[in-house]
Amino acid sequence: MSKCQVCHGKDGLAKLPDAPNIAGQKEAYLVKALIAFKDGERKNEQMTVVVKGLSDEDIANVAAYYSSIKISVQVPP
Amino acid sequence: MSKCQVCHGKDGLAKLPDAPNIAGQKEAYLVKALIAFKDGERKNEQMTVVVKGLSDEDIANVAAYYSSIKISVQVPP
């Protein structure tokens, strides 16, 4: 989790311009993305390094945490 | 835009479990993702079909719209 927070924030709002916000992201999407990075199907310098250290349980926990953040949106007029 | 909304909503909140929320997503990330789908670097059945019809200008416009949606988050205690 602490590794995720460096770029994606504890609140799931990206701290770097190239990183996506993941607050309240769909749990299934997060799991799928992390597995895709782990399998090399999706490529990203940072993510490829970070996911190497994640077990299936870690992936499930990270996805559960970030998806549990409630988001509300305000569409521009 | 209308094609995007089917899955991602006009408000950027996904209408299908497999689709990610993209409300307030970082503009650079959205552009990068769309180009990656267009180039075949990222693969997804729906996205691969949809991006075929998008010009560079369309991609810029879609990314600008969804990134302009304001999001606020509530981290669980």
Supply the pLDDT for residue A1: 77
At B71 the three-state DSSP class reads strand
Within 8 A by CB and 6+ apart from A34, the residues are: A51, A54, A59, A62, A63
Residue A7's nearest CA partner among A46, A65, A41 is A46
Supply the pLDDT for residue B40: 94
Q: What b/e sequence results for B6-34 when a residue is b if at least 16 CB atoms lie within 10 Å of its CB, and e otherwise?
A: ebbbebbbbeeeebbbbbbbbbbbbbbbb
Residue keyed to tokens 């970070």: A50
Contact between chains at A71 and B21 (C-beta distance less than 8 A): yes
Asked if B7 contacts B14 with a C-beta cutoff of 8 angstroms, the reply is yes
| pLDDT tens for each residue of B16-64 | 888 999 999 999 999 999 999 999 999 999 999 999 999 999 999 999 9
Q: Which amino acid, residue B26?
A: K
Asked if B23 contacts B66 with a C-beta cutoff of 8 angstroms, the reply is yes
Contact between chains at A73 and B12 (C-beta distance less than 8 A): yes
Contact between chains at B26 and A43 (C-beta distance less than 8 A): no
**A76: nearest CB among B19, B69, B71:** B69
Could you tell me the pTM of the whole model? Answer: 0.93
The answer to whether residue A61 neighbours chain B at the CB level (below 8 Å) is no
**Directed axis angle between helix B56-68 and helix B27-38, to 10°?**
140
- For residue B66, list chain A residues with Cβ-Cβ distance below 8 A: none
**Directed axis angle between helix B27-38 and helix B45-52, to 10°?**
90
| pLDDT tens for each residue of A14-73 | 998 889 999 999 999 999 999 999 999 999 999 999 999 999 999 999 999 999 999 999
pLDDT tops 80 at residue B1:
no
